[in-house]
Amino acid sequence: MIVLFTDFGLAGPYIGQMKAVLAREAPHQPMIDLFSDAPAFEPKLSAYLLASYTMEFPLDTVFLCVVDPGVGSSRAPVIVRADGRWFVGPDNGLFNVVSMRARHAQWWDITWRPKQLSASFHGRDLFAPVAARLATRQQPAGNLRATPFQCEWSADLPRVVYVDVFGNCMTGIRAGQLSEQAVLCVGERRIARASTFSDVRSGEALWYENSNGLAEIAANCARASDLLGLALGDPVEFEPG
């Protein structure tokens, strides 16, 4: 299958134009919309989010990922294969965490170019056709990098990497890296860990391990982002408790 991960939003023609290319080039492969509201213009925040949502997909899934504020610049277009799954998109940090956490990762520089390549929409013109080729089991359209992947980023990111429609704030920290007694500190507020929303009173904040393993900040029947004044990219601090 082909999985879309972008910061395009649902308004406007952009997702539809990419899907039109995929439907033309890989008409029999299913398409899944994973995120259309990944952190806009933020490849690093998006990288920690993406890495927590890949393992539930079957091997050979192709992730078509476009969070690309440097589109049309000198940043390279790449293909990554990490633990049996494919990733297509810009080399701007978006695939760093996936590769860091993988047991085995390979990178290709995309050398194929379409007859017409716009300066501002590589998602449609370059990445979508390359993803379709991989989904139809064609060889990667590029040159394999001989140098092993290296990255000095931290394994987890203590920042808000996503705010959902309920105002829940996902962090870039895997909850398994924190103790059961760890306390979230937001300003002068200290927030304990809970298993689920109803473990606290209505309107009260909590943090918990979300369904994809991230430490997430929420509030029972309220918006944690408003209650705690949190926004995308804000730093978060956990104390051992």
Query: Residue-wise pLDDT tens for the chain (241 aa)?
Result: 999 999 999 999 999 999 999 999 999 999 999 999 999 999 999 999 999 999 999 999 999 999 999 999 999 999 999 999 999 999 999 999 999 999 999 999 999 999 999 999 999 999 999 999 999 999 999 999 998 899 999 999 999 999 999 999 999 999 999 999 999 999 889 999 999 999 999 999 999 999 999 999 999 999 999 999 999 999 999 998 7
**Tally of domains in the chain:** 2
Q: In sequence order, which ranges of 136-206 are alpha helices (DSSP H)?
A: none
Which residue, 107, 122, 144, sits at the end of a domain? 144
Q: Is residue 170 part of a domain?
A: yes
Are residue 116 and residue 9 in the same domain, yes or no?
yes
Integer Cα distance of 137 and 154 in angstroms: 34
Integer Cα distance of 87 and 132 in angstroms: 12
CATH number, domain with residue 177: 2.40.30.90
What is the per-residue pLDDT for 187?
Answer: 85
Q: Is residue 225 part of a domain?
A: yes
Q: Is residue 152 part of a domain?
A: no
Q: Is residue 72 part of a domain?
A: yes
Are residue 8 and residue 88 in the same domain, yes or no?
yes
- Residue 70 belongs to domain spanning: 2-144
How far lies 99's CA from each of 51, 61, 105, 212, 238, in Å?
A: 9, 15, 6, 18, 26
The percent helix, strand, coil of the chain (3-state, each to 5) is 20, 30, 50
Are residue 119 and residue 14 in the same domain, yes or no?
yes
Which residue, 144, 176, 199, sits at the end of a domain? 144
Output the pTM of the full model.
0.96
Classify burial at 74, counting beta carbons within 10 Å of its beta carbon; exposed 0-12, middle 13-18, buried 19 or more: exposed
Are residue 187 and residue 120 in the same domain, yes or no?
no
What is the per-residue pLDDT for 102?
Answer: 96
Are residue 135 and residue 168 in the same domain, yes or no?
no
Taken in order 121, 34, 151, 148, the sign of the CA dihedral is: negative
Q: Is residue 151 part of a domain?
A: no
Residue 147's contacts (CB-CB under 8 Å, 6 or more residues apart) are none
